[in-house]
Structure 1
Amino acid sequence: MIHHFHPSILREYDIRGPVGSLLGHDDAHAVGRSFATRVRRAGGGRVAVGRDGRLSSPELEAALVEGLRTGGVDVVRIGLGPTPMLYHAEATLGVDGGIQVTGSHNPSGHNGFKLMLGHRSFFGDDVQDLARLAAAGDWTEGAGTVQDVDIQGAYVSRLLDVRPVAARVGWDTGNGAAGPVIAALTARLPGGHHLLHAQVDGHFPNHHPDPSEEGNLADLKALVLERGLDCGFAFDGDGDRIGAVDGRGRAVRADLLLALLAQPVLRDLPGATIIADVKSSAALFDRVCELGGRPVMWKSGHSSIKSRMLHEDAPIAGELSGHIFFAHRWYGFDDAQYAAVRLLELLGETGATLADLVDALPRYHATPELRFAVDPASRVRVVDEVLARLAARGAAVERVDGARVTTADGWWLLRASNTESLLTVRAEARDEAGLARLLAEVDAQLAASGVERPPD
């Protein structure tokens, strides 16, 4: 028996695509068979499996579990919950790997799989190897068992191993998989808590569950302002990315949240390495230096960041998109629920509000992450051409992930998406005039390569 995946669902960091047209029951079964083969050939035999709240997740999970079982792996099913709960299960249940059935922040009709093997991210060549094994029918055989385990209570109790302030907080789970965990968590947190869209609903009837898009924070902003709350937190569809709103109703980007969370980490671990992706603000890197830490800029992508954390023995890391990773007092994975309680702990330790802490950081003028579609053949070519022109003129360029160019005004970034036919632009300056000049430079570089950036 062999199986061929559609190449487009084999992403850099996971397997993901539209259900029905490119991803279905047979694909899920084949993922299980191939992953079981990798687990067994690595000397393992048990895998934890969880799922998000998308309409297609139960069917895909069932096919995945059957594939794992037929491949000779014992399965520990933890049921519906956020991806970090699956990561927690993988770290604590004595298993050899983990798979979450999730479409993350993608449209409601999409779904996929995030994988871990041996407590490490499973991505890049590993994903391609699953396809190779399936295409060759090179699968182990067996008759694994299936065990259902309720881990939510243990996960929530572990989240509460902090000292949070008794704040008044809004929580918007966007009808995603984090809803039940946040309901259980806030029932045990001190203070007053107000939940929005906590009912899991794969139709996502209120707004798309992507807190990195400020428009999706409108309900949370309104709640914070109407109720006079101290702050608010939002979560993506599978609960591994966080968004935040301060008491003045302002969105607080994840790179600035990391700048705040770095303070107690560096107090406990002086001189430690803090990793952030190439899209992150200069305010973050400067703040880490001020606190005596060692900032490291790295490529975007949760699997890349986790791997770099291990390499650098870094206690905390983050991405502009909302992934914040904790090895300090945690397990090394990205967890939006844990980021929220660590922020509440920080408020208690400092006696300040989130708005006060943000206002104490240097103020820059920055664009959001500007992403736009290009012809697939142009995605990498454009960045390479821009890098060549920048090198010819001796520009100050960080090449860790695309081109991050530093000028007298600030910096601008152009990078190609690792998973889609998109280019990403971001810029940050000390004032609006400088920001306009940076964007004009980006646009000139794009035009020189025959690409036009859509209007903001």
Structure 2
Amino acid sequence: EESKLIGQAYGTWLQEKGKDSIALGMDNRLTSSKIHGLALEGLVSTGLKVFDLGSVTSPMSYAAPVLMGAGGAMMITASHLPSEWNGFKFSFEDRTIFGDEIQEVRKLTERRKFREGKGSVEKFEFAEMYQTALQKSIGELEQVSKTPKKRDLKIVVDSGNGMAGLYAPKFLRELGCEVIEMHSDLDGTFRNRGPDPTHGPNMLQAVDRVKKEGADFGLVFDPDADRVNVCDEKGFVLWGDGILLLFARDILSR
């Protein structure tokens, strides 16, 4: 019931902001499909047009309103938290909502005074649109970056049995990279390692594989693929501040 109420509340909130459509996605946790169905029912009951993205990453859900012109997005996921958890991420236009705005949604849920209308559902295959946008962005970055272009990289990709397994290896191969996959099959229990790649022990399998395969680096994703950690060719783990330093060096060199 709570999932339907949250759908009704966010649908109401979006319409109060003048929006008439939303993109809805989910990760592959064991409870995500059921929550998705209930949230969809709630959104449609408010009169919104719902673009059902199916199983996607959180970054894909964030991009959907921008690329599709939807008013916002709702993503069913618990991100990097344990498999038995689940929840919602919300976005509005080109940004996520939090703080006071998410408290407005909570209050609407509690008051149970929702918009009513006859909405609709459209199944939407978003992957190709998203991949095209990523390729365009990468091309633009390469034009302004002073870093030599190298696409024939050998990369270990540990998807942790989460959503990255559907998209990251394919995308990297289409860029010209050699990809060594780990845990790409979807399993909502995340049986092969813990879901949070910023927890040191969850990096160990990828570190070992990078060294064994002589890869250039490794990528380790969380279940909804909005969190990634990196190790270099020697197995040295680059935590968030190290990754930020690499980005900063590139930006400052321009």
Q: TM-score, normalised by structure 1?
A: 0.52
Stretch moving more, 237-246 or 115-124: 115-124
Residue 43 of structure 2 corresponds to residue 57 of structure 1? no
Determine helix, strand or coil for the equivalent of 2:174. Answer: coil
For the residue of structure 1 that corresponds to 2:86, the secondary structure is strand
Determine if the alignment matches structure 1 residue 210 to structure 2 residue 196: yes
Q: Does 1:160 align with 2:146?
A: no
- Deviation of 1:157 (Å): 2.7
Deviation at 1:136, TM superposition (A): 1.8
1:162-202 deviation digits (Å, cap 9, x = unpaired): 25521111010101111111132133122321010011110
| 1:264, distance to aligned residue in structure 2 (A) | 2.6
2:107 aligns with one of 132, 139, 148:
132
Aligned position for 2:89: 114
AA partner of residue 89 (structure 2): K
Residue matched to 2:7: 32
Aligned residues: 243
Preserved CA contact (<8 Å) 2:24 2:61: yes
Indicate the residue corresponding to 1:318 in structure 2.
none
Which secondary structure does the structure 2 equivalent of 1:203 belong to?
coil
Instruction: Give aligned-pair identity as a percent.
Output: 30
Supply the distance in 1 between the matched residues of 2:194 and 2:155 (Cα, whole angstroms): 21
Match of 2:118, SS?
Answer: coil
Residue 144 of structure 1: how far off its partner (Å): 0.7
TM-score, normalised via structure 2 length: 0.92
**Aligned-partner residue type, residue 72 of structure 1:** G
1:224 counterpart = 2:210: yes
Distance 1:193 1:183 in 2: 6
Partner secondary structure for residue 141 of structure 1: coil
Deviation at 1:153, TM superposition (A): 1.6
Separation in 2, partners of 1:241, 1:80: 17
Mind listing any 5+ residue stretches in structure 2 that lack a counterpart? Answer: 143-148
Whether contact under 8 Å (2:164, 2:225) holds in the other structure is yes
Letter in 2 for 1:81: V
- Name the SS for the 1:249 alignment partner: coil
5 Å-filtered alignment, 1:350-361, equals none
Aligned-partner SS, 1:240: coil
Task: State the alpha-carbon separation in 1 of the partners of residues 158 and 205 from structure 2.
Answer: 8
Match of 1:170 among 144, 153, 156: 156
More helix by share: 2
The Cα shift of 1:224 comes to 0.4
Higher RCO (CA-CA < 8 Å; seq separation 6+): 2
Tell me how far apart the structure 1 counterparts of residues 108 and 32 of structure 2 sit (CA, whole Å). 24
Partner of 2:181: 195
CA distance in 1, matches of 2:110, 2:132: 43
Residues 191 and 134 of structure 1, relative CA distance in 2, 3 Å threshold: closer
| Alignment of structure 1 residues 358-377 onto 2, 5 Å | none
Q: Can you give the 5+ residue segments of structure 1 that lack an aligned partner in the other structure?
A: 1-25, 269-456
Residue matched to 1:260: 246
- Distance across 1 between alignment mates of 2:28 and 2:96: 22
1:68 maps to what in 2? 43
Q: Which of the numbers 238, 243, 262 marks the counterpart of 2:229?
A: 243
Query: Over alpha carbons, which structure has the higher Rg?
Result: 1
Specify the SS of the correspondent of 2:212. Answer: helix
User: Equivalences for 1:71-90 in 2 at 5 Å?
Assistant: 71-90=46-65
Runs of 4+ in 1 over 3 A off after TM superposition: none
Alignment of 1:282-431 (within 5 A): none
Distance 1:119 1:159, change over 3 A: closer
Q: What does residue 120 of structure 2 align with?
A: 145
